[in-house]
């Protein structure tokens, strides 16, 4: 799952997967801009078949934050 996440991010931002980790932010990764972030959100929704809430998307400051949302959504699925 982490691997798939990195893979998609690497494809959308067009950067080598090795440059991406949980601490990656728009500041330390210049390929991450405000517009392709929307593209990324959309692709992740499709690939993982989930719907982010708007407030969740606003809280994403680094790649690691995606994982938190995924965890939350999984818990949501179990209930």
Partner 1 sequence: MKNEENLAYFLNEAKTIKTRNLGKKLRVAFLANSTINGFEETMRVKCFQKGIDCITYVADYNQYNQEILNQDSRLYQFKPDITFLILDTRHVLGDHFFSWHKVSHDEKSKFVERSINEIKKLCNTFEENLETKLVITSLQIPSYSSYGINESREIRGLKEIVHEINNELLDEFGRHNVSPKIFIYDFNEFIMKFGEKNIFNYKQFFSGDIKISTEYVPKFVNELMGYIYAITGTTKKCIVLDLDNTLWGGIIGEDGFDNIKLGDNPIGRSFVEFQKRLLGLNQRGIILAINSKNNFDDAIEVIQKHPNMILSEDNFASVKINWDDKVLNLQKISEELNIGLDSIVFFDDDPINQEYVKDSLPDVLVVDLPKDSSRYAQIITEMKEFDVLKITEEDTKRGDMYLDQKKRNELENKVGDFNEFLKQMNIEVTVQKANSFSIPRIAQLTLKTNQFNLTTRRYQEEEVSKFSSSDDKIVECVEVSDKFGNNGITGTYIIEKKSDEEWVVDTFLLSCRIMGRGVEEIMMNQIIENAKLSGIKRIKGEFIPTAKNKPAENFYEELGFNKENNFWVFNTDNIIKKPEHIKVIKNG
Q: CB 19 → partner 1: shortest distance, Å?
A: 15
Instruction: Count the residues of the shown chain that bind partner 1, applying the rule CB under 8 A.
Output: 17
Residue 59, interface with partner 1 (CB under 8 A)?
Answer: no
Stretch that binds partner 1, among 19-27, 32-40, 61-69, 70-78 (CB under 8 A): 32-40
Helix (H) or strand (E) holding 11: helix 2-13
| Residue (of 1, 18, 17, 12) closest to 66 by Cα position | 1
Q: Which residues of 6-43 are buried (b: 16+ CB within 10 A; e: fewer)?
A: bebbbebbebeeeebeeebeeeebeebeeeeeeebbee
Instruction: For partner 1, give the closer residue by CB, 4 or 11.
Output: 11
Residue 34, interface with partner 1 (CB under 8 A)?
Answer: yes
Q: CB 12 → partner 1: shortest distance, Å?
A: 4
């Amino acid at each position: 799952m982490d691997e798939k996440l990195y893979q998609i991010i690497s494809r959308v931002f067009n950067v080598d997967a090795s440059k991406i980790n949980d601490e990656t932010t728009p500041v330390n990764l210049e390929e991450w801009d405000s517009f392709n972030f929307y593209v990324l959100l959309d692709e992740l929704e499709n690939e993982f078949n989930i719907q982010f809430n708007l407030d969740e998307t606003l809280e994403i400051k680094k790649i690691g934050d995606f994982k938190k949302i995924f965890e939350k959504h999984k818990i949501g699925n179990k209930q």
